[in-house]
Structure 1
Amino acid sequence: MVTATGRVALVTGASSGIGAATARLLAARGMRVVVNYLHSEAAAEEVVAGIGEAGGHALAVQADVRESAAVENLIEQVQAQWGGVDVLVHNALTPYAIKSFQDMTWKELGGKLDDEMRAAFTVTKAVLPTMTAQGWGRIIYIGTGLSRRPRAGMIALGTAKAALAQFARYLAQELGPWAITVNVVEPGPVEDTRIAGVLDDGIKRRQVAATPLGRLALAGDVAQAVAFYASEDNSFMTGTTAAVNGGMAMY
């Protein structure tokens, strides 16, 4: 078994927000990090450059993780550079509608469910051969507290992420014999992400007031939970969910 310094971590959707913070932290802890992005090449390269300046190792690779051919190409690039993927952090967020169920079409709800599960299925399938062959792996999915606590207009995202969480539990049960752990990190509202931009100041103030720790999460707070699940220290936690919400919801 190699040390954390030899591990290769793939972080999907890593050009900004939680993904970028996670990529930086894993690199700081000695992993070689694949910074996956869909459109934001400049932002992804900026993350890679920052990791390099800090003494770490990173590689930016474009891929739509919903597409099997694109993911296969991504894995081929990683294998050519560093070998297989030891740690998967699936963070990429596919688009979704923010509206009530009564105003929503099946294409909007069903499309989000399909995108969410297709991406998780595709990228997980691609990394498993290395993990099962070596008898070690870490898989972490980024969920959302909305999968447990509904909020107006968020039925598409909340429902899709609830499906992802159950998918993770089934994988944890199946992959345990290979010493592959599968866990979910469920943030509450996060200050420096795209979704934060659609919330008005009144909603944010109410969210802070409902949080015992007195502030909303930062991307770095979420990255810390991900980094634990990705580490050698996490040898006996699988099928679990970490709620990173400052106590806004306790379960």
Structure 2
Amino acid sequence: MSSLAGRLALVTGGGRGIGRAVARGLAADGAEVAIAYRRDEEAARKTVADIAAAGGRAHAYQASVDDLEQCRALAARIGGEHGRLDILVHSAGIASRGQSVADTDPGELARVLGVHAFGPHQLTQALLPLLRRAGRGDIVFVSSVITDMYPPFSAPYAMGKAAMEALAHTLAKEERGNGLHVNIVAPGVVDTDMGRRLVRATLGVDDIRQQDAASPYGHVCSPEEVADVVRFLVSDAASYVTDQRIVIDGGTF
């Protein structure tokens, strides 16, 4: 990867799973990293400590992306403490409960859409002034292959990711003239807490590693494999890439 030295990245959901791998990967490429977390302060602090131990610079900020005022407060802190932002990665996510449309609780629908759709919109909006000043700014949305499939019993999550992708494609066109690159990565099943819960719920498999033999290339996708695509998208190697959606599923779908 090309050097990201001198660039500041904000990764939502950066304390765990894909977000953690992205934060560590961007730091390894030279970026200073701000990690936004909702509840798990211990995980966020551990990610910061791991980055520092590897010679990088990182910071943790508590903020719920589905809360407009917290998004605005986070943007103000980033601006006040750093005075800039070059990279924004929307990785925060929650799963839906697997109910049918008929049985889905309205509160659950609001929560899932809040995190996956409204949250990225309002946080991006609050941070656009900083990103526009970056010269080259990058926004990467972590979506899902669910928007290729739309399986039953997944409406809140699928709706949230579909709305997120609509936001990304629209934003790419609006902000290209301001030097922003906006792209989407869409993983399949990934070895994260959410991925392990998904495999347990849908396949009755307690250990996700049992799926290695049936997966492309002999293993379930790792968070680092998703992070590597994000690292490419924000690098000089992708200087002419925007408004793209890259599927990371080993060719499954």
TM-score by length of 1: 0.90
Q: Any unmatched runs of 5+ in structure 1?
A: none
Shift of 1:110: 4.9
In the alignment, the residues of structure 1 paired with residue 102 and residue 199 of structure 2 have an alpha-carbon distance, to the nearest angstrom, of 21
Shift of 1:105: 3.8
Instruction: State how 1:28-177 maps to structure 2 within 5 Å.
Output: 28-94=28-94, 96-177=96-177
Relative to 1, partners in 2 of residues 1:122 and 1:150: Cα closer, same or farther, differing over 3 Å? Answer: same
Match of 1:233 in 2: 237
Secondary structure of 2:172 counterpart: helix
Shift of 1:209: 6.5
Match of 2:216 in 1: 212
Residue identity matched to 1:248: T
CA contact (8 A) 1:18 1:193 kept: no
In the alignment, the residues of structure 1 paired with residue 158 and residue 24 of structure 2 have an alpha-carbon distance, to the nearest angstrom, of 27
Secondary structure of 2:156 counterpart: helix
Match of 1:243 in 2: 247
CA contact (8 A) 2:165 2:184 kept: yes
Shift of 1:116: 2.3
Q: What is the aligned-residue identity percentage?
A: 33
**1:173-205 Cα distance to aligned partner (Å, 9 max, x none):** 111111201111000000123232242355669
Shift of 1:108: 3.3
CA contact (8 A) 2:13 2:38 kept: yes
Secondary structure of 2:139 counterpart: strand
Q: Any unmatched runs of 5+ in structure 2?
A: none
In the alignment, the residues of structure 2 paired with residue 173 and residue 133 of structure 1 have an alpha-carbon distance, to the nearest angstrom, of 17
Shift of 1:72: 2.5
Shift of 1:84: 1.6
Shift of 1:140: 0.2
Report how many residues are paired. 247
Residue identity matched to 1:182: V
**1:93-118 Cα distance to aligned partner (Å, 9 max, x none):** 14533212232244433553344221
Relative to 1, partners in 2 of residues 1:206 and 1:167: Cα closer, same or farther, differing over 3 Å? Answer: farther
CA contact (8 A) 1:9 1:85 kept: yes
CA contact (8 A) 1:117 1:164 kept: yes
Relative to 1, partners in 2 of residues 1:239 and 1:247: Cα closer, same or farther, differing over 3 Å? Answer: same
In the alignment, the residues of structure 1 paired with residue 114 and residue 4 of structure 2 have an alpha-carbon distance, to the nearest angstrom, of 34
Relative to 1, partners in 2 of residues 1:67 and 1:111: Cα closer, same or farther, differing over 3 Å? Answer: closer
TM-score by length of 2: 0.89
In the alignment, the residues of structure 2 paired with residue 80 and residue 9 of structure 1 have an alpha-carbon distance, to the nearest angstrom, of 15
Secondary structure of 1:93 counterpart: coil
CA contact (8 A) 2:8 2:84 kept: yes
Relative to 1, partners in 2 of residues 1:55 and 1:65: Cα closer, same or farther, differing over 3 Å? Answer: same
Residue identity matched to 1:214: G
The 10-residue stretch of structure 1 (127-136 or 160-169) with the greater mean CA deviation from structure 2: 127-136
Match of 1:222 in 2: 226
